[in-house]
Amino acid sequence: MSYPIKVRMISKTEVENLVSPKDVLEAVDATFQALGNGRIFHPVKEPIWMGKENANMLIAMPAHLKEKNIVGMKWVNMYTYQQEGIPSSYGNLLILSHEENGQPYAIIEATAITTMRTAGGHGVVAAQYLAKKSSEILAVVGCGAEGIAGIKSFLYAFPGLKELRVCDRNPAALENVKEQFGSQIKITAWENAEDAVRPADIVLLVTTARKPVVMFDWLKKGCFVSGLYSFNDLDPECSRRADKWFLGSKDTDYHQIIKAPYLAPYNLSMENVTGDLGEVAAGKCAGRENDDEIIVYTHMGMGALDIAVGDIIYRRAEEQNIGKVIDLS
């Protein structure tokens, strides 16, 4: 006997049209609160390391969001040394399955989800918990797709921002930022990351650099740094000299940051970690305690964030009959 296995396929463009920065921030915040309260199961993700200098990886990111009865997995690539013309992370997939019988019901293009829930999601949610409430100057180093997503969410979440300082090696990327956001906030563009960062209250670091481009000594008192590719592009001294260093999830970031083979020369240690964002969101660990603290946040992502955003996308696609339903049976 054959049973129908109906799966809704949702494309990258459809994903981008189905959720807003507000949706993503709310889903990500709720996910970190659930993480801190032990309501998420996400097995330790072991990357498949390969390629030049053992710096390319494929990784399965499964998770069970117990409060929402959602189970899923993201299959993602992150290639330090990528083939020409292909972004360092592209062509990723999210699979959602029914909790009651394990059958898949959605396959969603996940590169767009990753972009939104990273710089535009946990990078901003971390700032909501750990940056000064009086923050006025945001510096964004790296103005590609994720940088743009981050700017959109920061402008929504931090209406008190008065200046956006941007830095990117590509002049076209800087012009794109000015075109998209010039009517919303004062924008200054900088060729040098140090010039962009020194006055900033918040630094969003989202580059493809494989050596530090932002140094600890450039950070002013009270600065918050959201380092979304950990110490690929951020000075590892931040892990030792900042007043506080938070991970997103101790369980997953231990393997992808502390024990990442290509970061081994930096001698990163859990002894320097104050806590993780789940603990802060759940009220189990103090976040910012005064306006002079320099606080650094690094997180390499977790499948639970993608699944939480993917659930919103799937439900809206169902309501609006967007995507293509196929029968795998």
Statement: residue 2 has pLDDT above 80: no
The mean pLDDT value of the chain amounts to: 94
Copy the structure tokens of residue 175.
Answer: 């012009």
Statement: residue 168 has pLDDT above 70: yes
| pLDDT band at 277; cut points 50, 70, 90 | very high
166 DSSP assignment: E
Instruction: Outline where 230-302 has alpha helix (H).
Output: 238-241, 250-253, 277-281
How much of the chain, in percent, has pLDDT values that exceed 90? 83
Place of tokens 């909790």: 99
Strands (E), the chain: 6-10, 40-41, 48-50, 56-65, 70-79, 93-97, 104-109, 137-141, 163-167, 186-190, 202-205, 224-227, 244-247, 275-276, 295-298, 324-327
The pTM assigned to this predicted structure is 0.92
Statement: residue 1 has pLDDT above 70: no
| pLDDT band at 63; cut points 50, 70, 90 | very high
pLDDT tens for each residue of 84-141:
888 878 889 999 999 999 999 999 999 999 999 999 999 999 999 999 999 999 999 9
- Burial of 37-51, coded b for 16+ CB within 10 Å and e otherwise, reads bebbebeebebeeee
pLDDT tens for each residue of 211-224:
999 999 999 999 99
Taking the C-alpha atoms of residue 130 and residue 116, their distance in angstroms, rounded to an integer, is 20
Helix or strand or coil: residue 104?
A: strand
pLDDT tens for each residue of 226-259:
999 999 999 999 999 999 999 999 988 998 899 8
Cα→Cα distances 132→23, 27, 120, Å: 23, 22, 18
